[in-house]
Homo-oligomer: A and B are copies of this chain.
Amino acid sequence: MDLDKDNKISITVIRRLPKYHRYLGELLRRGINRISSKELSDLTGFTASQIRQDLNNFGGFGQQGYGYNVEELYNQLGKILGLNKVYNTVIVGSGNLGQAISNYSGFEEAGFKVLSLFDKNPKVIGLKIRDIEIRDVDELGDFIKENDVEIGVITTPREYAQDIADVYMENGIKAIWNFAPADIKVSDDIIVENVHLSESLFTLSYFLNNKEDYVKN
């Protein structure tokens, strides 16, 4: 799909898409049918021009003189983001962060189904978080293969992150969502998305000490 263009969509554009999707979801809940790029600009803080440019990378979803149909654009963006599918997911590290992710209903609603948590601590193996069992991390590889797991989450301490990434890689996982404060090394065909909480907090700290550099949004 998307063979009609050779040039990549830039990461800066891609990272704005979820925000458009979120605001359109809100508008939809509020029963609003149509929105212009100008109005979306007021909501999101991106310029109207930028919004039109961004969307036109994927198609002409709008209509001159009218704007965009909220529901249609929401659905289109959902499809572009791959939210029209279900992804089998596992989480390694059953601490608070792992539990937070497995409990968050928003992810399940968006199609990210957590099949199991994994840990190496015998005290927690066998327990259930809601209805999701915590398994021994030694069973991780087999579980991935037997259950067509596509996405692996890492919520372990830093020192185990690379080992888990290796197990993920060896067993054919397609994408890794990494919360450990380390950059893992995997082969080029595996998607890695990092959430480095420290980097976010330290950025906050920087701005707290250098208010003159801070700009909203």
A127 at the interface (CB under 8 A from B): no
Checking B14, B19, B206, B208 against A206 with a beta-carbon cut-off of 8 angstroms, the contacting residue is: B14
Check: A193 CB closer than 8 A to any chain B CB: yes
A45 to B99, CA, bound (A): 31
Q: Which residues of B contact A175 (CB under 8 A)?
A: 204, 207-208
B22 near A199 with CB under 8 A, answer: yes
Q: Which of B18, B201, B211, B216 has a CB less than 8 Å from the CB of A198?
A: B18
Known: A21-B202, A96-B96, A96-B97. A9 touches B210 (CB 8 A): yes
- Stretch of A30-38, A47-55, A104-112, A141-149 at the chain-chain interface: A104-112
Closest to A12 in B: B12
Asked whether A82 and B209 contact (CB < 8 A) given A97-B97, A204-B191, the answer is yes
The digit string for A61-88, where 1 denotes a CB below 8 A from any CB of B, is: 0000000000000000000111101010
Question: A211 — which chain B residues lie within 8 A by C-beta?
Answer: 189, 191
- Given A15-B199, A210-B9, answer yes or no on A204-B103 (Cβ-Cβ < 8 Å): no
Q: Measured between C-beta atoms, what is the minimum distance from A55 to chain B in Å?
A: 14
A181 interface residue, CB < 8 Å from B?
yes
Contact A14 B203, CB 8 Å, known A9-B210, A181-B106, A216-B188: yes
Residue in contact with A112 in the complex, picked from B2, B95, B112, B201, CB distance below 8 Å? B201
A85 to B195, CA, bound (A): 24
**Residues on A facing B (Cβ under 8 Å):** 2, 8-9, 11, 14-15, 17-19, 21-22, 80-83, 85, 87, 95-97, 99-101, 103-104, 106-107, 110-112, 150-151, 174-175, 177, 181, 188-189, 191-193, 195-216
A-B contact pairs, 27 of them (CB 8 A): A2-B210, A8-B215, A14-B206, A14-B213, A15-B203, A17-B202, A22-B181, A81-B206, A81-B209, A82-B205, A82-B208, A82-B210, A83-B205, A85-B209, A87-B205, A101-B197, A104-B197, A107-B198, A150-B208, A151-B208, A175-B204, A177-B200, A177-B201, A188-B216, A191-B208, A193-B201, A193-B204
